[in-house]
Structure 1
């Protein structure tokens, strides 16, 4: 089974992009607006003509995070519980992605604001 395609700017085989390309930048996020994977929110902004819509809490049981090393698709809870490592291949994920979590999926703070 092949991995889903990842859209973005200068995306390599491990999902690193022009914006984030350290050894640990090997994860891509699926956006609800277009159902496509992107390495980062900046790539989504660069290659689409619509506003990004984070993955909704109601769909957290569906895969929406992609490991760029092995191609495993994770649900948001599995990604958050993995402690910045792929549970399938043990590749390290960038903990800095947590700084932009609300751009990739609905977070507690987003739902608590209502």
Structure 2
């Protein structure tokens, strides 16, 4: 799976968010491309970001940078770690939820 933006390692960390637990990329609803964060999308894409509407939360739209497994939006929002490999997710990402998920 290709991840766009300025990543700093192969676990999808980027120049904006690169702590040990910053290991997800989000497929943006507007373009179908994975980006590590909203800032990477804003810098790279030629369009404004659109959020995932709730009726599409069953779509696989979150990528674990550790195991490269995809998960549905609703599964990601209910998790604190990857269901595939157990990698912990950054709990502070909840502050940005409105930027990705409607």
TM-score (norm 1): 0.85
CA contact (8 A) 1:30 1:55 kept: no
Partner of 1:96: 92
Which runs of no fewer than 5 residues in structure 1 stay unpaired? 107-114
Aligned to 2:17: 20
Q: Gaps spanning 5+ residues in structure 2: where?
A: none
CA RMSD of aligned residues (A): 0.9
Q: TM-score, normalised by structure 2?
A: 0.95
Tell which structure's C-alpha radius of gyration is larger.
1
Quick check: which one's strand share is greater? 2
The ranges of structure 1 where at least 4 consecutive aligned residues each deviate by more than 4 angstroms after the TM superposition are none
Number of aligned positions between the proteins: 102
What residue is the counterpart of 1:112 in the other structure? none
Contact 2:51 2:100 in 1 (8 A): yes
Between the aligned partners of 2:93 and 2:68, the Cα distance in structure 1 is: 18
Give the distance between the partners of 2:87 and 2:7, measured in 1 at CA: 21
